[in-house]
Amino acid sequence: MGKSKILPQILTVLLILCLIMLTACSGGTETSTEQEETSGSEQLVIAACMQGNQSGFIRYMTSGMYEYQKASAPDIQLEVVFADDDPAKQQGQVENFVSQGVDAIILNPVDKVQSAAAVDFAADAGIPIITINTMSDSKNVTAHVGSDDVEAGTLQMERLLSVAPENPRVAYVNAVLGHSAQVFREQGYLEVLEKHPEATLVVQNTADWSGDKALQLVENWIQTYPDGIDVIATHADCILAGVITAVEDAGLAGKILIAGMDCDMTVMEKIKEGVVDNSIWQDGLGQGENALRIAIDAANGEEVSDFLIPFEVCTKDNVDSYIEQAKERDAIAAEYF
Model confidence at 22, pLDDT cuts 50, 70, 90, reads very low
The average pLDDT across 186-194 equals: 98
What is the domain partition of the chain in residue ranges?
45-147+283-305, 149-281
Quote the pLDDT of residue 52: 85
CA–CA distance, 276 with 248 (Å, rounded to integer): 11
Residue/partner pairs of 177-180 with CB below 8 Å, 24 or more apart: 177/206, 178/111, 178/112, 178/113, 178/114, 179/110, 179/111, 179/112, 179/134, 180/109, 180/112, 180/134, 180/135, 180/136, 180/149
- For the cut 60, the answer to whether the pLDDT of residue 207 exceeds it is yes
Model confidence at 25, pLDDT cuts 50, 70, 90, reads very low
- For the cut 60, the answer to whether the pLDDT of residue 24 exceeds it is no
Residue-wise pLDDT for 68-112, tens only, equals 999 999 999 999 999 999 999 999 999 999 999 999 999 999 999
Whole-number mean pLDDT of the chain? 89
pTM, 2 dp: 0.78
User: Dihedral through CA 63, CA 108, CA 210, CA 86, nearest 10?
Assistant: 120
Radius of gyration of the chain (CA): 29
The average pLDDT across 307-316 equals: 97
Percentage of residues in the chain having pLDDT higher than 90? 83
CA–CA distance, 164 with 154 (Å, rounded to integer): 15
39 against 311, higher pLDDT: 311
- For the cut 60, the answer to whether the pLDDT of residue 1 exceeds it is no
Output the CATH code of domain 149-281: 3.40.50.2300
Contact present, 231 and 164 (Cβ < 8 Å): yes
Quote the pLDDT of residue 41: 56
- For the cut 70, the answer to whether the pLDDT of residue 12 exceeds it is no
- For the cut 80, the answer to whether the pLDDT of residue 38 exceeds it is no
* Exposed e or buried b per residue across 123-151, where buried means at least 16 C-beta atoms within 10 angstroms of its C-beta: bebebbbbbbbbbbebeebbbbbbbebbb
Quote the pLDDT of residue 30: 35
Contacts of residue 167, Cβ cutoff 8 Å, sequence gap at least 6: 198, 199, 200
Contact present, 232 and 171 (Cβ < 8 Å): yes
- For the cut 80, the answer to whether the pLDDT of residue 21 exceeds it is no
Quote the pLDDT of residue 209: 87
CA–CA distance, 279 with 211 (Å, rounded to integer): 15
- For the cut 90, the answer to whether the pLDDT of residue 191 exceeds it is yes
Q: Do domains 45-147+283-305 and 149-281 have the same CATH topology?
A: yes
27 against 283, higher pLDDT: 283
The average pLDDT across 133-150 equals: 96
Output the CATH code of domain 45-147+283-305: 3.40.50.2300
